[in-house]
Amino acid sequence: MHESNSMTENRKWDHIEICLKKEIESTVSNGLEDVKLIHNPLPEIDLEEIDTRVEFLGREFSLPVVISGMTGGNPRTKKINEVLARISEEFRIPMGLGSQRAAIENPELEDTYSIAREVAPNAFLIGNLGAVQLNEYTIDEIERAIEMIDANAMALHLNPLQEAIQPEGDTNFSGLSDKISEIAKEIRVPLIVKEVGSGIPMEVAETLERSGVSAIDVQGLGGTSWAAVEAERSDGVFKRIGEEFRDWGIKTSMSLIEVLHSAPKVEVIASGGIRRGSEIAKAIALGASAAGIALPILRAVVKGEEFLRMELEYLRKGLEITMFLTGSRNIEELRRAKLVLTGETREWLEWRGIKSWRR
């Protein structure tokens, strides 16, 4: 179904308000509780010397954390993107913008995205569009999105669940892998493919690697649930369907391991329900290049810049302490940290026939 520009614009703000005010996370965990890092009471390092710098997508960052794509497209979101971008530059971490479709359709909204580049000339900014938009868009629109923020990378999101439970959703997902492959060949910045909270399985990761994408951002089950968000905006059948699918998907721990296993040449970002520094450490120890975080960042930024700084300091501290307690001086050493995999994640991998994935 085709919708008007102002519908896209209003929906953007609805989503933010719902995410701020309602319980919209999945009722199940992200699976990372099944990953036990082995405690080392004799780490032989000084907490003060721990180095969290990391390199991925061709750049060095001070922390293995990505601000996942969230917003833009409504005049009220401009301030959010402004603060996120300033902090992304200050902390030297990448920032994703929300879907730029609103500005492709209505250029008057471009400033709600381009403000990020204005205030953060050196930040690593990631553009964003829905993969399903490739039914209408060609490389020209993708290039416009890149130019709008002078993007360092471009993300295409896969959100079939969200589209299916939006009364106005775009639900024709046929033929999209070929289109993603064409974009990957023509685009001049790294292409990232991400989910939005239901995860990516190994079969799709294999297809994406063959398509030539540079990175996969798993965005697994265990955090923000778009089915829950859409249930809050609907009534009748769509509300009930949104509730039914609230916990649909592949948990972050499982999706991360599946993607690492089947797409060994792409960089992998772990995301979906990551809320703590110790979880970032677990994701890195499993093999992720970095961890992506959305909802807690949104909830902090609307309270003010200081709250966002505090949230990132909290994540940094948790990561550093986990590195200390596993005897990992730097991110390379954390990648080799000893771990035990238990519970549902272990069962899942056995069933899926995955025995090795670490790089």
Ligand X SMILES: Cc1cc2nc3c(=O)[nH]c(=O)nc-3n(C[C@H](O)[C@H](O)[C@H](O)COP(=O)(O)O)c2cc1C
> CB of 257: closest distance to ligand X in angstroms?
18
The residue from 16, 50, 66, 312 that contacts ligand X (CB under 6 A) is 16
Residues 102-131, one symbol each (x = binds ligand X by CB under 6 A, - = not), give: --------------------------x---
Among 169, 199, 273, 287, binds ligand X (CB under 6 A): 273
> Contact between 272 and ligand X (CB under 6 A)?
yes
Beta carbon of residue 104, minimum distance to ligand X (angstroms, whole number): 13
Instruction: Please give the structure tokens belonging to residue 346.
Output: 């272990």
Please give the DSSP secondary-structure letter assigned to residue 126.
Answer: E
Which residue, judged by CB position, is nearest to ligand X in the bound state?
223
- Interface residue with ligand X among 74, 81, 88, 99 (CB under 6 A) is 99
Is residue 98 near ligand X by the rule CB under 6 A? yes
Should residue 295 be labelled a site residue for ligand X when binding is judged by CB under 6 A? yes
Nearer to ligand X, 170 or 328 (CB): 170
With a CB cutoff of 8 Å and minimum separation 6, the contacts of 12 are 71, 72, 73, 74, 77, 98, 102
Among 125, 196, 228, 231, binds ligand X (CB under 6 A): 196
Q: Shortest distance, CB of residue 69 to ligand X, whole angstroms?
A: 4
Q: Which of residues 299-358 bind ligand X (CB under 6 A)?
A: none
C-alpha span between 343 and 147 (Å, rounded)? 46
Q: Give the pair of three-digit tokens for residue 53.
A: 């710098």
Q: What span, in angstroms and rounded, lies between the C-alpha atoms of 64 and 162?
A: 28
Q: Do 249 and 222 touch, CB atoms closer than 8 A?
A: no
Asked if 94 interacts with ligand X (CB under 6 A), we say no
For the CB of residue 50, give the shortest distance to ligand X in the complex, in Å: 24
Beta bridge partners of 55: 60
Q: Provide the β-strand partners of residue 290.
A: 269
How many chain residues interact with ligand X (CB under 6 A)? 25
Give the strand pairing for 290-293 and 191-194.
Answer: unpaired
255 touching ligand X, by CB under 6 A: no
Supply the angle between the helices 305-325 and 78-91 in degrees, to the nearest 10. Answer: 40
Calculate Rg over the CA atoms of the chain: 19
CB of 44 to ligand X, least distance (A): 34
Cα pseudo-dihedral 40, 45, 46, 52, rounded to 10: -90
Asked if residue 307 lies in contact with residue 300, where contact means CB atoms within 8 angstroms, the answer is: yes
Instruction: Select the span of 58-66, 177-185, 259-267, 287-295 touching ligand X (CB under 6 A).
Output: 287-295
The binding track of 38-67 with respect to ligand X, each residue x by CB under 6 A or -, is ------------------------------
Q: Are 86 and 305 in contact (CB under 8 A)?
A: yes
Q: How far is the CB of 292 from ligand X (least distance, A)?
A: 7
Give the list of residues 6+ apart from residue 145 with CB closer than 8 angstroms, or none: 100, 103, 104, 127, 128, 129, 151, 154
Near ligand X by CB under 6 A: residue from 32, 50, 66, 70: 70
CB of 256 within 8 A of CB of 288? yes
> By C-beta, is 117 or 157 nearer to ligand X?
157
Chain residues in the site for ligand X (CB under 6 A): 15-16, 19, 68-71, 98-99, 128, 157, 194, 196-197, 219, 223-224, 271-274, 293-295, 298
